[in-house]
């Protein structure tokens, strides 16, 4: 068996004071709620307020997802998190040929304001916070959300939530894109400016390590690439003329929490310390909130096994525990059946109950950062941090993350790491219970969520009807205004908003941006 | 075997999850196959055209978005229309057990579930794919 973390950091039999020579708690830790926030961003952490339990959900047409949202809220969930289907993520309408077979499959289909109104029907947007996992067309979905709020009579400054908007990690790992990296960054700048001006409670970007990790990176790579992405977004905001403290407090993060219990805790602690230093020392931020690394966490989808799927409940519980001990602000727990399909309602309920057991039964919430001062965890936090700084330095040398992505650097690093991991599994150096050890002959018959193929036709029908009913001349005029803004230097956000109010579709809006900026094509690297 | 097997690995549909297919690509290459990877976001037309142009012996499809029931059979159908129905098609991804019989009867010869090992995939390819145009 390997005596090293998933990132390859060697682990000793036991740790003691010698592993922390030259380490001073005053500088390295501070108190919870104090710079550099290693121990958490709040003085009392979960005693003051529990993390937000936020289960990612969405499938079918808007009606189906709206029903699941109402169910989750009725079960004690405290925030919404929307999954969109693949065509929506790529900026295609449901009736586009490329959408064939994909509509409503991996998330909810949203083509226009008509769908968005149904999606949030009877959900008061001033009382919930909503996280939307949307990147390439994040500007369109943010505009749609603002437009729905307008119809509900809710002011912009009352809207709380997040659009993921992290295109760099799309090019690196998740790979749902529309236009190339540099124009993508320009559209993000427009969103940052719009957010700073109009949406004081909105997190415009959720800088995401999750997908980088799921694509096969190590914990250290996840940390380094994510913070390097964050640096690129801060630079973009500054280049757009914003004061760092005008937008940095609204940047949030999203990390994966995998099986390597201690390394994951070390990663989250190191992440806070590093970001605080980056913001204060590299960017000169003065508002302490700019120094905070606020994060959402999700258990590792990629760690779930198809074999003996009930075992996944235990994996998720351990990962969720690591996320909580690592000091996350919100959490999604995966469901046991997700290697087969989107989760059933029963499986989602077990996953949510897992969080509730941690919060209400285990008493791990009573004291902030309970591992603070542990020889092992502190030494590991230092080592994870050191390795991540080295990687960030390499990216700086390449000219920053945008240039590194264009050069394929993080993409290659991840492909190498995932192959290395898979080989370790195949050789039996890493045990995965039920997969390469403790294997049983089994017939797996767990119930899975079935999505009615009819959804696709109903959705296509709705969008086609919409095109006939709206005022086409207004739509054309507003799309043309957007085109001019995209070609020039006007902020595109208000134009996108004007388009969605006129029921221009997502595909039409993204089509304009593609015409102006071109489409991204990735060189296929094995 | 007269020559190395030529395998096209392809990502139909819109999902960007390419961890699995890249790992499989390296494993098949290490096992002596010639591997051609299409890259992401391919239509059935693009995949079939690539298979014909590259004169491959088999196509491995990976999809994690749930669109397999629509896209896999269409690819097999188009191969038959182009007169290359002898190209072996196999696939994998997030595919519920219940969908597998339908895919097999549509002409996909093997579906690997999540958790299939690289060894299993390589062995299956060795046993079930032959160089086309070469007498067995």
pLDDT tens-digit profile of B76-130? 999 999 999 999 999 999 898 899 999 999 999 999 988 889 999 999 999 999 9
> Where in chain B are the domains?
6-128
Element (H, E) at A347: helix A345-360
Amino acid A342: pLDDT: 86
Taking an 8 Å cut-off on Cβ atoms, the answer to whether B19 and A176 are in contact is no
Q: Which residues contact A197 (CB under 8 A, 6 or more apart)?
A: none
Inspect the interface and report whether the beta carbons of B65 and A102 lie closer than 8 Å.
yes
pLDDT digits (tens, 9 = 90+) for A295-346: 999 999 999 999 999 999 999 999 999 999 999 999 999 999 999 888 998 9
- For residue A100, the chain B residues in CB contact (below 8 A) are 67, 70-71
Does any CB of chain A come closer than 8 Å to the CB of residue B131?
Answer: no
Phi-psi region of B16 (alpha: psi -120 to 50; beta: other; left: phi over 0): alpha
Assess contact for A175 and B18: CB atoms under 8 A. Answer: yes
Is-contact A209 A254, C-beta < 8 A?
yes
Q: A6 is written with which tokens?
A: 């998933």
Burial class, A156, CB count within 10 angstroms (exposed 0-12 / middle 13-18 / buried 19+): middle
Q: Give the class (CATH, top level) of B6-128.
A: alpha beta
Is the pTM above the cut of 0.90? yes
What is the DSSP annotation of B86-115? TSEEEEEES--GGGHHHHHHTT--EEEPTT
Tell me which chain A residues have a C-beta less than 8 angstroms from the C-beta of B22.
415, 418-419, 526
By CA distance, what is B46's nearest residue in A?
Answer: A98
Among 3.30.450.20, 3.40.50.1980, 3.20.20.240, 3.40.50.10140, what is the CATH number of A17-426? Answer: 3.20.20.240
Q: What is the pLDDT of residue B65?
A: 86
Predicted confidence (pLDDT) per residue in B37-49, tens digit:
999 999 999 999 9
In this prediction, residue A243 carries a pLDDT of 98
A1 has pLDDT over 80: no
Of A102, A425, A84, A307, whose CA–CA distance to B97 is shortest? A307
**pLDDT at residue B135, as a whole number:** 52
State the average pLDDT over residues A281-308.
97
* Structural domain boundaries in chain A: 17-426
Q: Enter the ipTM.
A: 0.85
Averaged pLDDT score across all residues of chain B: 94
Give the nearest partner residue to A524 out of B23, B39, B43, using CB atoms.
Answer: B39
Q: Give the separation between CA A238 and CA A261, rounded to whole angstroms.
A: 37
Confidence category of residue A160, pLDDT binned at 50, 70, 90? very high
Calculate helix-pair angle for B118-128, B19-30, nearest 10 degrees: 60
Which of 292-331 (A) contact B at CB < 8 A?
302, 305-307
Is B109's Cβ below 8 Å from some Cβ in A?
no
């Amino acid at each position: 068996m390997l005596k090293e973390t998933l990132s390859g950091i060697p682990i000793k039999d036991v740790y003691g004071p010698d592993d922390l020579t030259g380490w001073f708690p005053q500088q390295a830790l501070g108190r919870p709620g104090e710079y550099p926030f290693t121990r958490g961003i709040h003085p009392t952490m979960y005693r003051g307020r529990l993390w937000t339990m936020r289960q990612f959900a969405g499938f079918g047409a808007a009606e189906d997802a709206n029903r699941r949202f109402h169910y989750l809220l009725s079960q004690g969930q405290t925030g919404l998190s929307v999954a969109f289907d693949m065509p929506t993520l790529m900026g295609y309408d449901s009736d586009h040929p490329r959408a064939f077979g994909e509509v409503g499959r991996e998330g909810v289909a949203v083509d226009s304001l008509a769908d968005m109104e149904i999606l949030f029907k009877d959900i008061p947007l001033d009382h919930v916070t909503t996280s939307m996992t949307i990147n390439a067309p994040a500007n369109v979905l943010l505009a749609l959300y603002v437009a729905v709020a307008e119809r509900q009579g809710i002011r912009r400054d009352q809207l709380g939530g997040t659009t993921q908007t992290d295109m760099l990690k799309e090019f690196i790992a998740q790979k749902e894109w529309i236009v190339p990296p540099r124009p993508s960054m320009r559209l993000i700048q427009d969103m940052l400016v719009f957010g700073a001006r109009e949406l004081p409670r909105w997190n415009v970007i959720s800088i995401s390590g999750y997908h980088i990790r799921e694509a096969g990176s190590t914990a250290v790579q996840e940390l380094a690439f994510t913070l390097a992405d964050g640096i690129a977004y801060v630079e973009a905001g500054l280049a757009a003329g914003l004061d760092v403290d005008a937008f940095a407090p609204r940047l949030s993060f999203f990390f994966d929490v995998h099986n390597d219990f201690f390394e994951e805790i070390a990663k989250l602690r190191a992440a806070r310390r590093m970001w605080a230093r980056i913001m204060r020392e590299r960017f000169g931020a003065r508002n302490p909130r700019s120094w905070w690394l606020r994060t959402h966490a999700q258990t590792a989808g990629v760690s779930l096994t198809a074999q003996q799927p009930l075992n996944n409940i235990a994996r998720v519980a351990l990962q969720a525990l690591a996320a909580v001990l690592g000091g996350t602000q919100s959490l999604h727990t995966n469901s046991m059946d997700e290697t087969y399909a989107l989760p059933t309602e029963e499986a989602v309920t077990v996953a949510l109950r897992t969080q509730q057991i941690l919060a209400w039964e285990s008493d791990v919430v009573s004291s902030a950062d309970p591992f603070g001062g542990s020889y092992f965890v502190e030494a590991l936090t230092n080592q994870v941090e050191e390795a991540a700084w080295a990687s960030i330095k390499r990216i700086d040398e390449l000219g920053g993350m945008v240039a590194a992505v264009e050069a394929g650097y993080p993409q290659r690093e991840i492909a190498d790491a995932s192959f290395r991991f898979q080989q370790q599994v195949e050789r039996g150096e890493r045990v995965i219970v039920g997969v390469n050890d403790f294997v049983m002959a089994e017939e797996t018959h767990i119930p899975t969520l079935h999505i009615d193929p009819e959804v696709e036709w109903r959705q296509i029908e709705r969008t086609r009807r919409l095109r006939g009913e709206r005022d086409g001349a207004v739509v054309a005029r507003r799309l043309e205004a957007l085109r001019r803004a995209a070609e020039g230097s006007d902020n595109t956000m208000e134009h996108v908003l004007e388009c969605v109010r006129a029921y221009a579709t997502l595909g039409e809006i993204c089509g304009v941006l593609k015409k102006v900026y071109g489409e991204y094509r990735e060189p296929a690297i094995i | 075997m007269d020559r190395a097997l030529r395998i096209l690995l392809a990502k139909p549909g819109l999902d960007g999850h390419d961890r699995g297919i890249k790992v499989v690509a390296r494993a098949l290459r290490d096992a002596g196959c010639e591997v051609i990877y299409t890259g992401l976001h391919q239509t059935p037309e693009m995949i079939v055209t690539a298979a014909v142009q590259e004169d491959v012996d088999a196509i491995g499809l990976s999809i994690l978005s749930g669109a397999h029931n629509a896209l896999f059979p269409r690819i097999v159908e188009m191969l038959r229309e182009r007169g290359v129905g002898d190209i072996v098609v196999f696939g994998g991804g997030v595919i519920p057990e219940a969908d597998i019989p339908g895919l097999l009867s549509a002409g996909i010869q093997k579906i690997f579930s999540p958790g299939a090992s690289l060894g299993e995939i390589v062995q299956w390819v060795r046993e079930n794919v032959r160089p086309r145009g070469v007498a067995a």
